[in-house]
Amino acid sequence: MTDKQAKLEIGTDSLDLPVLQGSCGPDVVDIRKLYGSTGKFTFDPGYKSTASCESALTFIDGEEGVLLHRGYPIGQLAENSSFMETAYLLLNNDLPSQGELDDFTYTISRHTMLHEQLMQFYRGFRRDAHPMAIMCGVVGALSAFYHDSTDISDPDHRKISSHRLIAKMPTIAAAAYKYSIGQPFVYPDNSLSYTGNFLRMTFGVPAEPYEVNPVVEKALDRIFILHADHEQNASTSTVRLAGSSGANPFACIAAGIACLWGPAHGGANEAALNMLKEIGTPDRIPHYIERAKDRNDPFRLMGFGHRVYKNYDPRAAVMQKTVREVFDSLGVKDPVFETALQLEEIALNDDYFREKKLFPNVDFYSGIILSAIGFPTTMFTALFALARTVGWVAQWNEMISDPGQVIGRPRQLYTGPTERDYLSMDKR
């Protein structure tokens, strides 16, 4: 809290509202007492001006293009950390010692297998089901298989369910892929890294040995770091809202996966690559730029623009660099990457995009690299969900451990009919 007060005047009434100050970012006007004191609500669809919670995990300065996890810049984490270490950091507030990291990695590796009956659950899905549809279903079903860790008032249960979710997500995502292509499931190999294990479960087959490519492993691990958390985005807010009613964490993360699926959120990586492929060659870029600018055309440049970033998304910068590194080391040449680079340059020099502060976001380049690694586009959002599970779980834990936590229950501006009497069928 600061000693600043905000004064709200409604007609002849006035109300002093406390102004809260975080460690970084804008001050926040505390309106919690507004309704009780004035009988009025605020109106903010899409939460464009509303802080929905207090959080110490992740900070974004959208104007400056800054993203910090527990204070550490995303660029430094992507360069120096690993996904397991970043997960530890998000869950525990500080970077681990070597012993703490080893213990954490070991614990996660002990939870990678799925209940065998859950593996049979897959067979109920159509063969051509989208992996995100399978993820929603299978993750939700975890609560039916792991009852023993669903008492959210017990910190040990919260910890075990968090570890289970982080550990099982690669197994669930890889199995969704294997099922869709009709190959046998590959069981986890805990001697591999978190990311190496996922690569093997996705691209390996039981009939042959699989060797993890260290360049690909490092690049994918970095992609996971870039997606680990992003403060109160739509899916994280969904997880928090679902969790605020006391729902178990498996159900809450399934809700987050459903929200992430949309093309305005996590589904944008799939949409961005599809768009780049549709554009095809650089000479067709101007046509698509004109379409994106046309108010009568619903087309948008996918992978461009962000609710919070009004500057270059720092994750996009790391992603672009990673594409170059992987392509150089694997000797890949992809015309789609050239199209993306040129599209970015043209858009960044176009008045429409400059005035609206539309820059590439994390999804603009991620699809290109995931495709080069061998993932089909339908798996892109599933990979996002896998990595974001760490953030969802950390945010859910933060919320549940807060003694002041209450159920989330927004109000509304009602515009429907006023009270009227029921009409019998013959009078309508």
**Dist CA 238 CA 253 (whole Å):** 9
Is 306 among the catalytic positions? yes
- What DSSP string describes 199-261? HHHHH--TTS-----HHHHHHHHHHHHHHS--SS-HHHHHHHHHHHTT--HHHHHHHHHHHHT
Only one of the segments 73-81, 117-125, 130-138, 359-367 lies at the binding site for ligand CMC (rule: CB under 6 A); that segment is 359-367
307 versus 321: smaller Cβ distance to ligand CMC: 307
**Residue 307 CB, nearest approach to ligand CMC (Å):** 4
Residue among 229, 270, 363, 398 that touches ligand CMC (CB under 6 A): 363
3-state class (DSSP) for residue 149:
helix
**Residue 291 CB, nearest approach to ligand CMC (Å):** 9
Q: Which residue is nearest to ligand CMC (CB)?
A: 305
Tell me the number of residues near ligand CMC by CB under 6 A: 20
Token reading at 395: 């945010």
221 versus 270: smaller Cβ distance to ligand CMC: 270
Helices (H) and strands (E) in the chain, counts: 18, 6
Site string for ligand CMC, 239-278 (x = CB under 6 A): -------------------------xxx-x----------
Residue matched to tokens 């996590």: 266
Token reading at 42: 């605020």
Only one of the segments 69-77, 335-343, 360-368, 369-377 lies at the binding site for ligand CMC (rule: CB under 6 A); that segment is 360-368
- The candidate with the shortest Cα–Cα distance to 343, out of 415, 289, 297, is 289
**Dist CA 193 CA 313 (whole Å):** 28
Dihedral sign for Cα 243, 248, 249, 251, please.
negative
- The candidate with the shortest Cα–Cα distance to 188, out of 200, 203, 176, is 200
Under rule CB under 6 A, which residues in 300-339 are in contact with ligand CMC?
300-307
The answer to whether 413 touches 41, Cβ cutoff 8 Å, is yes
154 versus 294: smaller Cβ distance to ligand CMC: 294
**Residue 103 CB, nearest approach to ligand CMC (Å):** 31
**Residue 306 CB, nearest approach to ligand CMC (Å):** 5
**Dist CA 19 CA 344 (whole Å):** 40
**Residue 222 CB, nearest approach to ligand CMC (Å):** 16
Residue among 164, 200, 230, 240 that touches ligand CMC (CB under 6 A): 230
150 versus 320: smaller Cβ distance to ligand CMC: 320
**Residue 90 CB, nearest approach to ligand CMC (Å):** 16
Report CA Rg, the chain.
23
The answer to whether 217 touches 324, Cβ cutoff 8 Å, is no
Which distant-in-sequence residues (6+ apart) come within 8 Å of 311 by Cβ? Answer: 62, 63, 64, 65, 357, 359
Is 147 among the catalytic positions? no
Catalytic residue among 363, 402, 421, 426: 363
147 versus 356: smaller Cβ distance to ligand CMC: 356
- The candidate with the shortest Cα–Cα distance to 176, out of 150, 138, 221, is 138
**Dist CA 366 CA 382 (whole Å):** 13
Catalytic residue among 111, 130, 306, 313: 306
**Residue 283 CB, nearest approach to ligand CMC (Å):** 20
Only one of the segments 151-159, 215-223, 245-253, 354-362 lies at the binding site for ligand CMC (rule: CB under 6 A); that segment is 354-362
217 versus 270: smaller Cβ distance to ligand CMC: 270
Residue among 162, 232, 233, 244 that touches ligand CMC (CB under 6 A): 233
CB atoms within 10 A of CB 411: 9
* 142 forms part of the interface with ligand CMC (CB under 6 A): no
3-state class (DSSP) for residue 304:
strand
141 versus 393: smaller Cβ distance to ligand CMC: 393
**Dist CA 66 CA 72 (whole Å):** 10
**Residue 343 CB, nearest approach to ligand CMC (Å):** 11
83 versus 304: smaller Cβ distance to ligand CMC: 304
Only one of the segments 75-83, 204-212, 326-334, 356-364 lies at the binding site for ligand CMC (rule: CB under 6 A); that segment is 356-364
List, by residue number, the catalytic residues. Answer: 306, 363
Residues that bind ligand CMC in the complex, under the rule CB under 6 A: 230, 233, 264-266, 268, 292, 300-307, 356, 358, 361-363
